[in-house]
A and B are shown apart, each in its own frame.
Chain A
Amino acid sequence: MGPEVIGFSFPNDVHVTWSLMIVMYPYITGLVAGAFVVSSLYHVFNRQELKPIGRLSLVASFAFLLFAPLPLLFHLGHPERALNIMVTPNFSSAMAAFGFIYGFYFLLVLGEIWLVYRKDIIDRARAARGFRRRLYKILALGVYDDSPEALRIDKRIVIILAAIGIPAACILHGYVGFMFGSVKANALWSTPLMPVIFLFSAITSGIAMVLVIYATVQRFAAKPISGECIQSLCRYLWLFAIVTVTLELLEVLSLSYERNEEWLVVSILYRDHLAFSFIGLQMVFGSLIPIILLGIVVLMRKYLTDPLRNMIAFVAASILLIQVMAMRWNVVIGGQIFSKSFRGFREAYRPELFGREGVVVAVLIMVAPFVVLALINRVLPLAYDEKREAARG
């Protein structure tokens, strides 16, 4: 039994070829890119108030990076051939770029993390005993030069890497948007705005994720949360959320105004098929509410106590994380529930619960980066300790 179809669909168009996994894929890559951009705000642009999350955001970016290809692998009909993307790439394909961009980015982030933590690793290698000592020795890669001169050089390289990382992050995620934007067959996807929207919403999700992780980590470590840091994150988050939502709305607006063939199907799609996930979740709940909340944080700073502000920020960031997820869903799934006949829709797609591309796998993939973060935390504490940092100078 196939899905129920309203109107006329091409008979092959009733299958949702890109499943929940392809919703996860841009979501996770977006977090990678976004978190990296946040870390660069500190490392490159030297926003001192963001120091507490300078390293954390880098490590978070890495944790998500580790799992970014996983949804793709789960999705592929032949995951065992996945490396062919790099062995026999077809350079006219946007997707072929993934392997290379990913590989490059991976090395970049790894290198930057190592440099940023090098001093810590050396200190710990010297202080620890037994197994832990061996572990830190391995992590130190045999380099024990922590003279001020060496550390200065480290810092320089970090700035360079972080600076290269910004365009790299933009390419990484812009390319994900391009993968959709370049499909001219699809009325919903094929707009030049698509990569830009993806990029901005990626940065939004990255900032939101870093904020949430930072607040959580500090709480668990019983360390104070820096009000300055949260305030600053809120400002960036507010800005990027507004730009993202504006772009998202602009796209709908121009489609509706041009009234091309696409609008025939896109209008019905938004009105009837994505009413909940687009209008309700993405626009009203996901955008309006957090933008108001963040507006309060940014504009009414004087009237808010620290705990209250942190709380509002935490809630707004969490909602924005849902917003971005909803956006990915609406683009990826929304783009597949209408037929390329532009005349038919299939009933709503519901992902399977179990199974390779199901909800359980998606949740596990989403949880995995946090497990990695917890593990990293045991080796190199993620919480920001002001006193220790002050002692280090």
Chain B
Amino acid sequence: MKESQTTSLPRREFMRKAAETLGGIAVVVCASGGLGTLLADQQHKKGAPKPGVGGKGQQVGVPHEYDPTHHRYVYLIDVTKCIGCGACVRACGKENDVPEGFFRTWIERYIVSTDGEHVDIDSPNGGKDGFQPKVTGFEVAKAFFVPKICNHCTQTPCVQLCPVGASYRSPDGVVLVDETRCIGCGYCVQACPFGSRFIHPKTHTASKCTLCYHRITRGLNPACVDACPTGTRQFGDRERKGDPVWKQVVSGKVHVLKPELLTEPNAYYLGLSYEVR
């Protein structure tokens, strides 16, 4: 296990560098059309193992040598970098066989007027197909994209409420659903304040972001992180010494969603604006 960590580190670093340079190009292309999204998809195909590792849905095999008590994952979203290409949403959809119309991750677009009174928000198809330019009825002061995923909350209401214990929090901090135990009551869907859960229309069980558990337990990044061309999405492990992502979280000015609910999210945001809920 140690080994897989050390081998995966340089690779991750490399990916990040590559993503950053590529991201620069992508920003330009994105503005001129959907090419950026295409590019990002290409990159995902090259960088990631074949989709479907560990099977479909959330029942994923975990390697024998994996010890969840040796990890504590963090997710960092640098809002200032997101270009709304939607590559992450597409990558997630493919990787996890997410049904049409449901989302384990999505992108929101915020457009704020100069007087600060109008906030136009949308997320067409969860941002899966990128965003089309939009004409607003007001003068625009700022506009930005906000990627969302399950926050893998430490004090998670969704786990607290599950009547059969099918929703649980693994020692590595990942909130998962045991598909073989879930009775499909939907209580957790109601309980999640962030809209991260849904009842899968085929399995009739609760479904949500697993941080690509089948990948991260093998030392890989979640598919969305690898697919992101700008380095908006970053994945780290606070149990790992000198983890750059965790370092940014503890030493930087980060934010979480709906902090007033005290769910203690483990997905952090850099550069989050107050309009975002």
Contact = CB atoms under 8 A, between A and B. Distances in A.
Given A8-B121, A12-B197, A185-B261, A94 B161 contact: yes
B173 interface: no
A144 interface: no
B160 interface: yes
User: What DSSP secondary structure best describes chain B's contact surface?
Assistant: loop
A183 B190 CA distance: 7
Contacts of A336: 190
B163 A11 contact: no
Interface in A67-108: 72, 75-79, 81-82, 84-85, 88-90, 92-96, 98
A75 B190 CA distance: 14
A317 B99 CA distance: 46
B106 A184 contact: no
B144 interface: no
Given A17-B199, A78-B184, A82-B183, A12 B163 contact: no
A77 B204 contact: yes
Contact of B126 (A11, A93, A342): A11
Contact of A81 (B181, B190, B197, B261): B181
Contact of A17 (B123, B163, B165, B190): B190
A13 interface: yes
Nearest to B205: A77
Contacts of B277: 341-343
A157 B205 CA distance: 45
B102 interface: yes
User: What DSSP secondary structure best describes chain A's contact surface?
Assistant: loop
B186 A18 contact: yes
A90 B126 contact: no
A55 interface: no
A84 B199 contact: no
B213 interface: no
Nearest to B208: A12
Given A81-B183, A341-B195, A343-B277, A12 B164 contact: no
Interface in A1-48: 2, 8-13, 15, 17-18
A93 B195 contact: no
Contacts of A342: 277
Contacts of B164: 81, 84-85, 88-90, 96
B194 interface: yes
Contacts of A267: none
Interface in B118-173: 121-123, 125-126, 148, 157, 160-165
Given A17-B190, A90-B163, A343-B277, A11 B183 contact: no
A78 B204 contact: yes
Contacts of B196: 12
Contacts of A11: 102-103, 106, 123, 125-126, 195
B157 A93 contact: no
B53 interface: no
A186 interface: yes
A355 to B, nearest CB: 14
Contact of B183 (A13, A84, A340): A84
A179 B160 CA distance: 12
Contact of A340 (B101, B106, B181, B194): B194
B198 interface: yes
Given A185-B261, A343-B277, A93 B187 contact: yes
Contact of A185 (B193, B199, B204, B205): B193
A79 B183 CA distance: 7
Which 9 residue pairs of A and B lie closest in terms of their CB atoms, listed nearest first?
Answer: A77-B184, A77-B204, A10-B195, A185-B193, A95-B163, A8-B121, A90-B165, A17-B186, A96-B163
Interface of A: 2, 8-13, 15, 17-18, 72, 75-79, 81-82, 84-85, 88-90, 92-96, 98, 179, 182-186, 335-336, 339-343
8 contacts: A8-B121, A10-B123, A77-B182, A78-B205, A84-B183, A88-B181, A90-B162, A185-B193
Interface of B: 101-103, 106, 108, 121-123, 125-126, 148, 157, 160-165, 181-187, 189-199, 203-205, 261, 277
Given A17-B186, A81-B183, A88-B181, 12 more contacts: A10-B194, A11-B103, A13-B195, A18-B190, A72-B185, A79-B183, A82-B183, A90-B163, A182-B161, A340-B195, A341-B121, A343-B121
